[in-house]
Every structure is written in C-alpha cells, then in structure tokens.
Structure 1
Amino acid sequence: MSQLKQRRRKDYTYFLSYRTRWGDNDQYMHVNNAVYYLWFDSIVNTYLIEKCGQAPATSPLIGLVISSFCEFFAPLSFPEVVELGLRVNKLGSSSVTYEVGVFSEGRDEPAAVGGYTHVFVERVGRKSTPMAETTRAGLNKLLAAPSSTPAPKL
C-alpha cells in the first residue's frame, strides 16, 4: 500500500478550500484527473503569492515544473467541497518539491495525494537560479520532517 495513502490532515501545514464545479466532472461523473493538477497549481501559486512574495507578472524568478505525480484513493464529484493541504517535502537552493493532499470536506484521509517539483529560473533567460530569500523563508515554513517523507520508489 502506498505510504501516501496513510497521510492525514495533520501532515499538511497550509490549507485552501475549493468548491468543485459541474464542468470538473467527466463522463463517469467524477472529477477528471486533469482537474487535480489545476488544484495543485492553485494551492501552490496561492501560497507563493500570499506567503513568499512572488508576483507572477513581475517576479524576476519564476518556477517551472520539471516533474509531477498523483495517486488517487477515492473518487470526488460535483457538488463537493475539497480541502487542499500543502507541504514541502524537499527544499533545495533553486528547487522545491511540493506535496498536496486532496481531502473531501471534513474527511481526515486523502482522496488523492500529488504534487510536483519547481525549479526557479530567471524569467527571461530561463537559467536555474537560487530562489529569493523571501521565497525560501516562506517555503521553509511548509517543510515536512524527514521521517514523514515517503522513501523514493526504486
């Protein structure tokens, strides 16, 4: 069984609620897989803007996604409120790996867990660059304890 399925709300530091929309459902009447990645972008970028001083239109550095993942454990569908939990599993000098727990409102176990890795680059030249100190300080507040990060799959 996936270690990610064992996550609970207490494993995440920052939360954002999201009301599903009719258009989020696919023909099988559950939230389409692609929507989860929109939710990941929403919580990560909300946090970067609100807590890390990022300004998408003007910041000299931007984060580019270099890898992503998602594991699904229970279906969600419209109309439902989901609560997204955010944590940082790894914080490097120019990269960060985020993890997002997707919870049905009021539930302690996740319906899905996913995330991605950002590499910060210069807006214009796209050269990998150490992140700004304000960004690093904000992301450090979400850094998970090493023992709660799943071991990499070999």
Structure 2
Amino acid sequence: MSRTPPGTRADYAAFTPITTRWADNDAYGHINNVQYYSFFDTAVNAWLVRQGLLDITASAEIGLVVETGCRYHRPIAYPDPIEVGMRLASLGNSSIRYELAVFAPGNDTAAAEGHFVHVYVDRATGRPSRLPDALRAAAESLRAPGSGSA
C-alpha cells in the first residue's frame, strides 16, 4: 500500500505563523507528536478570531472539536518557526472540517498534515446549532486554489 505524498503550500488557502517553544521538543530532539494538535487548534481558532467569527467569552455558538487526525511526514524542531496552512474540507449543517498542514521555514512540502472537525453548539444549551451564515461565507475563502466544491 503506497502512502499519499505530502501536500504543498499551494494546496492550502490561509496560513498562520506559530513560534515553536523549547517545551514543544521531546527527548528525541524534535517536536512531540501531541504538539501538532495544539498547532491545529491554534491555527483554526486564530483564523476564526481574525475573521471576527469567534469571541472566546461571548459567542452564542461555539465550535467543539469532535475529531482530529494527523499524518507525520518529517520531523521539525525548536527553534524553527512554523506556518500552519488551512483549507476547507467540508461544510455540514452544524459542522465544519478543516484540513491543515505544518510547514517548516523555507519548505514548500508539508512536514505533517491533518484534519480538525468542529461541531457548532449553542453555548447556553450545548445542543448542536446551524453553522452561522458568516462562518459559512468565510469558510468558502478556505477552499484550496483549484479545488472544486468540498
């Protein structure tokens, strides 16, 4: 069974720079695998905040993470800064699936790629709610260049 090759920067629509920290490295001298999930979470929520779609303390609807995954292609290490690329994979009634990639400086090929699924719920009741129209519209900007509908 052959493995899908890593994506490139051209496959992603938006990027968030992240500074790695000394504590991100593990005993083997590279970023520990669990940190990638933090990078994904940071990139998605930073994008939501930049778009004016998330007020961490007051938004009526909030996105809860219900699924994540990651494939690792090659190690990265502190003190390298990274960029996390994002693209839209799919929009549901109450959910959105992002695909993400971690890029090392000067490298066009992803060091790791993954996905992140938010289900939107009403903050007060915890019940699923329809994706806000503003989020649906902004998410369209995350379609990767050359992609069809997600």
Q: Above 0.5 in TM-score? A: yes
Q: CA deviation at 1:22?
A: 0.8
The equivalent residue for 1:13 is: 13
| TM-score relative to the length of structure 1 | 0.89
Q: CA deviation at 1:52?
A: 4.7
The equivalent residue for 1:66 is: 66
CA offsets, 1:70-106, max 9 Å, x none? 0000001111111110111011121000111101111
Preserved contact between residue 95 and residue 120 of structure 2 (Cα < 8 Å): yes
The equivalent residue for 1:152 is: none
Identity of aligned residues (%): 37
CA distance in 2, matches of 1:94, 1:143: 18
Q: Which runs of 5+ in 2 are unaligned?
A: none
CA offsets, 1:103-127, max 9 Å, x none? 1111011100012111100002111
Amino acid at match of 2:112: A
Q: CA deviation at 1:6?
A: 3.3
CA distance in 2, matches of 1:6, 1:146: 20
CA distance in 1, matches of 2:50, 2:18: 17
CA distance in 1, matches of 2:117, 2:3: 20
My pick for the range that moved more, 26-35 or 48-57, is 48-57
| TM-score relative to the length of structure 2 | 0.92
The equivalent residue for 2:49 is: 49
Q: Which runs of 5+ in 1 are unaligned?
A: 150-154
The equivalent residue for 1:84 is: 84
Find the residue that maps to 1:6 and give its secondary structure: coil
The equivalent residue for 2:31 is: 31
Q: Which has the higher helix share?
A: 1
Preserved contact between residue 6 and residue 111 of structure 2 (Cα < 8 Å): no
The count of corresponding residues between Structure 1 and Structure 2 is: 147
Preserved contact between residue 54 and residue 135 of structure 1 (Cα < 8 Å): no
